[in-house]
Amino acid sequence: MYISGNIKELNTYDAIVIGSGISGGWAAMELCRKGLKTLLLERGRDVEHIKDYPTANLNPWDFKFGLNNTLKDREIDPVQSNSYDPSTKHFYVSDADHPYIQEQPFNWLRGYQVGGRSLVWGRQCYRMSDLDFAANLKENVAVDWPIRYNDIAPWYSYVESHIGVSGQKENLAHLPDGEFLPPMELNCIEKHLAESLKKNEYNRLLTIGRVANLTRGWDHRGPCQNRNLCHRGCPFGGYFSSNSSTIPAAAATGNLTLRPFSIVTEILFDPENQKAKGVRVIDTLSNEVYEFYSKILFVNASTIATAGLLLNSVSSRFPNGFGNDSNQIGHNLMDHHSSAGAYGLHDQFKDLYYKGRRPCGFLIPRYRNLKEGEGLNFKRGYNIQGHGERQEWTDRSHNLNGFGKDFKAQLTTPGDWTVWMAGWGECLPYYENRVALDDLKKDKWGQPLLKIDFSFKENENKMMADIQDTSAEMLENAGFKGVEVFNYKKPGGTTVHEMGTARMGHDPKTSVLNKFNQMHAAKNVFITDGSCMTSSSCQNPSLTYMALTARACEFASRQLRSGGL
């Protein structure tokens, strides 16, 4: 059910979910399936599966400037245009309309629409392990996670069995296997690199990426068509998104009310019950202000926006932000670095090519600091993600000479096989990496602008140097020529894995949430987006957000039934 801003009487629900992205869609589905009348609030426009994917079937030449952004795009959207092109621009915000303050360079990439960034995510799905959950305690970094792998393992399986994850089981303790659909296939150069790793590196392996792209039909969706146009929205349902899966499932229960164009500006506190009683909302179309009430509240606005909402929700009980007894809200911001790696050419296999456009690359799971005594100069680790392909004409045209038929033949003949690979590395939780509210500057709805102060530090920089060294070593050992290392020095936010501003922990004095993602200071508030993360590991985190969300919804519904909330 959709309600417009004109309907004021429908203001009380069993549950309210703020944000309709990957974790918010899951919260809505789980709560609706448990019989709770649920209001799903999204600050952006509505996007309906299939109907609202206008570029899904267009060719590059169907766009006025091809798939190239214009100078005006870069001027108006200096941040977002780093991620979009004309085929995906409609799924990103306008920087001009949605400003924020960068105290240090930080790319805050956003999609304000129903489905959020689940429409444009990378779909990589990897489980965390106790190597990750126990690392803070073992190394005396930040605070200990209040959960371990056994607490979340069944929820990983639950989520994987719903979204559909293709992948290969590898029996690694530090990268647990999941419930996989058949894997996609490595191409010949990737298989060659994999064989080289088996031969030269006993503690490294190369496997196909584990992705929420369907290799067979699944839950009335898919299969993947190998078009690699996922970021445009998939009319086949070949990958998981809120729009293709969880939101329709929630709506099918009859318990969902979806309200787009709704900016949540404040969580309302009930001092008598010491709980949240609801939210205050600005309708972005009418600028009218509404209040909605519920028994429980799930905050899934995404890490930075969640921190801003909590900090903006002040009262006599919470003068520094809702639930902020620990003064940790907004702090410990993390994002993976993915700037460093290596590239090389191989002069064999020229009689081989590939079919289609596979929507994922390969993965070399973490191989650093798996055990004590490795003698490295940095903590934690990284995985390597990459892909192998034949050079195309755009890669070689500047080196080719000629004219006419012979020149065209050179351009249309595939070049050498190449491999590009880079490290996705863990960022430690630093208190000084933070989100705060500006005291003076406001957006066009009168809300404080968010200030982001973030940088990668010595540990991450040392890790990047190691990524360059080991990536080049692996390529050279596999016979690649012209191997070059790189470090793009991309600022925080570019990997789009921001997390950590309302962390989980055992102690209310040093954390915001307990082991069930329940706010220590307000028991009917749950936060299950990336802000809940206590450390970042090096795995792409969305699978963990979904598993934590499903687990928290089960706990919250049990507590409601028993009268605990």
Question: Residue 146: CB partners within 8 Å, gap ≥ 6?
Answer: 504, 505, 506, 511, 514, 515, 534
- Asked if 386 and 463 sit in the same domain, the reply is yes
Identify the CA nearest to 480 among candidates 350, 346, 389.
346
- Asked if 39 and 9 sit in the same domain, the reply is yes
Identify the CA nearest to 13 among candidates 296, 300, 309.
296
Q: Which of 466, 491, 516 is the last residue of a domain?
A: 491
- Asked if 222 and 306 sit in the same domain, the reply is no
- Asked if 29 and 128 sit in the same domain, the reply is yes
For position 190, what pLDDT does the model report? 98
- Asked if 469 and 403 sit in the same domain, the reply is yes
Burial 45-84 (b: 16+ CB within 10 A, else e): ebbebeebbebbeeeeeeeeeeeebeeebeeebebbbbbb
Whether residue 318 lies inside any domain: the answer is yes
Tell me how far apart the alpha carbons of residues 163 and 105 are, in angstroms, rounded to a whole number: 34
Measured in residues, the chain has a length of 565
- Asked if 203 and 172 sit in the same domain, the reply is yes
Whether residue 81 lies inside any domain: the answer is no
For position 555, what pLDDT does the model report? 98
Pairing state between β 38-41 and 64-67: unpaired
- Asked if 399 and 502 sit in the same domain, the reply is no
- Asked if 212 and 277 sit in the same domain, the reply is no
Identify the CA nearest to 84 among candidates 120, 55, 52.
120
- Asked if 529 and 480 sit in the same domain, the reply is no
Identify the CA nearest to 471 among candidates 426, 537, 425.
425
Whether residue 346 lies inside any domain: the answer is yes
For position 232, what pLDDT does the model report? 97
* Total domains, the chain: 2
pTM attached to this predicted model: 0.96
Whether residue 347 lies inside any domain: the answer is yes
- Asked if 395 and 297 sit in the same domain, the reply is no
Domain of 503 in residue numbering reads as 1-57+112-146+241-336+446-455+497-565
Angle value at C-alpha 480, between 477 and 482, nearest 5 degrees: 120
Whether residue 155 lies inside any domain: the answer is no
For position 1, what pLDDT does the model report? 47
For position 471, what pLDDT does the model report? 98
For position 402, what pLDDT does the model report? 75
Q: In the chain, which residues have pLDDT < 70?
A: 1-9, 394-399
Whether residue 104 lies inside any domain: the answer is no
Whether residue 65 lies inside any domain: the answer is no
Which SS3 state, helix, strand or coil, does residue 21 take?
coil
For position 562, what pLDDT does the model report? 94
For position 5, what pLDDT does the model report? 40
- Asked if 501 and 403 sit in the same domain, the reply is no
For position 398, what pLDDT does the model report? 64
For position 372, what pLDDT does the model report? 87
Q: 353: how many CB neighbours lie within 10 A of its CB?
A: 12
For position 397, what pLDDT does the model report? 61
CATH number of the domain where residue 121 is located:
3.50.50.60
SS3 of 388-400: EEECCHHHHHHHC
Q: What confidence tens digit (pLDDT) does each residue in 246-256 have? A: 999 999 999 99
For position 6, what pLDDT does the model report? 44
- Asked if 229 and 371 sit in the same domain, the reply is yes
